[in-house]
Structure 1
Amino acid sequence: MTDFSTEFRMPKGCPSCGSHLMRVSKARDPDDKVFCASCNSYVCLYREAEDRLDNDHKSQAEDMIEKVTNKDERELPPKRS
């Protein structure tokens, strides 16, 4: 899955292991499944992850960590509406 996926950081950790690092296909279609990069558990659909990234309340520190970790977002295709 490594060659066809990209990793990003979510504000809320994986329910199974607590890791914030997630993996999704490079296509980033709304119906693509998001998996934990650590334990490979299914977490949610990409459209749900986008909603969490946009709307979940986070501390200033968490916001800064996400901006640094998700900086490769610029290289990915634009989000779909």
Structure 2
Amino acid sequence: MAFPEKCAQCGSEDLRIPSNSDEDQNIYCNSCNALLGDKKTLSKEIEDEGEGDHQVEKFLRSLSAKSDKD
């Protein structure tokens, strides 16, 4: 599971991620104590962002291939 690298509230990279495997465990920022969300939701958001990045890379490659043909 992938999780955020920093707090969305204060930008700190010091996060408190529970080590047990329960997906409903909450992740907090150690600096400002903000609740960032539960492990399941946050890992899903990271996966979705990764898929979007993959689609952008694919699109850019297709544009590059088209320009090489011209």
Q: Which has the higher strand share?
A: 1
3-state SS in 1 of match to 2:46? helix
Unaligned runs of at least 5 residues, structure 1:
1-7, 60-81
Amino acid in the other structure paired with 1:43: L
Greater gyration radius: 2
Q: Which residue, out of 4, 18, 25, partners 1:32?
A: 25
Percent of aligned pairs with the same amino acid: 22
Q: Which runs of 4+ in 1 moved over 3 A?
A: none
Greater percentage in helix: 2
Q: TM-score, normalised by structure 2?
A: 0.51
1:79 corresponds to which residue?
none
TM-score where L is the length of structure 1: 0.46
Unpaired stretches in structure 2, ≥5 consecutive residues:
54-70
**Equivalent position to 1:19, from 12, 15, 22:** 12
